[in-house]
Amino acid sequence: MTDQDSERYVSRLTKGTLALVLAGGRGSRLKQLTQWRAKPAVPFGGKFRIIDFPLSNCVNSGIRKVCILTQYKSHSLFQHVQRGWGFMRGELGEFIELLPAQQRLETSWYKGTADAIYQNIDIIRSHNPEFVLVLAGDHIYKMDYGPMLAAHAKAGADITVGCIEVPMREASSFGVMAVDENNRIVEFTEKPAQPAPMPGRDDVALASMGIYVYRTEVLINELLRDADDPDSTHDFGGDIIPGVIARLKVTAYPFRQAANGCQAYWRDVGTIDAYWRANMELIGISPELNLYDRDWPIWTYQAQVPPAKFIFDDEGRRGMAVDSMVAGGCIVSGSYVRHSLLFSNVHVHSFAHIEDTVIFPDVQIGRHCSIRKAVIDKGCIIPPNTRIGVDAAEDAARFHVSEEGVVLVTPDMLGQRLHYAR
């Protein structure tokens, strides 16, 4: 075993790395789910928030110096991180810092992903890391960043870009790259109208995950260069990466399963349909994303609530859940829940029928309700006898219906004001 393959080598690299998590986006394609919260703060998987996944990846990878860059409606995100991620030990050099948009260098809010980091460049300098790992705070995946850092160092790269194979029909939503036989990126186009397929494959393209490893001095130099460019949109995928390919050594790091070399699990949950599908995948017998992996736990904040309870066992009034995930604090009272995912403190009252539905915390489902293929936002009180996902015209008149027929329901749509100024 060479030194560069050793665990000690990888641990040295991770210890010298500062992770910057971009968590300021609105996520407008999630419609009213992000009306009162940033996209990384959206609940996921019955217990977590989206941001818990990149943060857990950092901690599990041995990266304990993390800054979270926020902007849009960040209160919910701040609250979650402060409650659930306060276990770092500052005396050991560990931290998770929340960096709100504060106009440190400019008089404007963040103009793009690169500008967000540029406006905090003094904080990066103060931490003096050997490497900077730039992460998106809004994707669902489990990844050990250590091997990516090791590959970056071994190749002597200036920048390394994490990448996955995506179907051609989806590639135009990503940054698409072409690589040579040594995985050096020779071309990079952000969201091309006509994406180029991988060599020898006409069904997939090589797409950026929005994960970048930089040598710190390279990142700082390129951020300064980009800030001085009046024609730049100040975006990593749109400006910085395409602009450095000819000057610097930029390599691709394919995200694959260590056991078999196959494509690893990664989901962009940026639309209502994608979000709903990713949650539904978790209910399967053997989902690709294993939340029961004790070697790679997903950390989060959770309130202290009692176990889920299922009550009444009468004919026609039996509380039960089948092929479902039900969080603590839930009460399924004389109702039927099938192939659904219930977050904490959901109360489903008698004679209700729930199917193919994601229900956020603190929701009340009234008697005789029928709900199918829906996402129910936090705090909703669904009146008795309500039908959702049954009549398309009825749904479209009251709620948001996605392209694939997922019905999104929020308190505002029900005339229930959880957030208001006056």
* Residue appearing with tokens 């440190």: 104
Of the candidate ranges 14-28, 106-120, 364-378, 394-408, the one whose mean pLDDT is the lowest: 106-120
Residues paired with residue 311 on neighbouring β-strands, in sequence order: 333
Instruction: Answer positive or negative: Cα dihedral of 77, 95, 250, 218.
Output: positive
Cα separation of 296 and 301, whole Å? 16
pLDDT of amino acid 26: 86
Burial zone of 163 (CB within 10 Å; 0-12 exposed, 13-18 middle, 19+ buried): buried
pLDDT of amino acid 5: 54
Q: What is the mean pLDDT of residues 184-189?
A: 96
User: For all residues of the chain together, what is the average pLDDT?
Assistant: 94
Domains of the chain: 3-281 (3.90.550.10), 309-414 (2.160.10.10)
pLDDT of amino acid 1: 38
Rg (CA), the chain: 23
3-state DSSP percent of the chain in helix, strand and coil, to 5: 25, 30, 45
pLDDT at residue 9 greater than cutoff 80: no
Cα separation of 242 and 177, whole Å? 9
Task: Name the phi and psi angles at 269, rounded to 5.
Answer: -100, 45
Of the candidate ranges 52-66, 189-203, 222-236, 336-350, the one whose mean pLDDT is the lowest: 189-203
Model confidence at 200, pLDDT cuts 50, 70, 90, reads: confident
Q: What is the pLDDT of residues 134-154, one digit of tens each?
A: 999 999 999 999 999 999 999
pLDDT of amino acid 199: 79
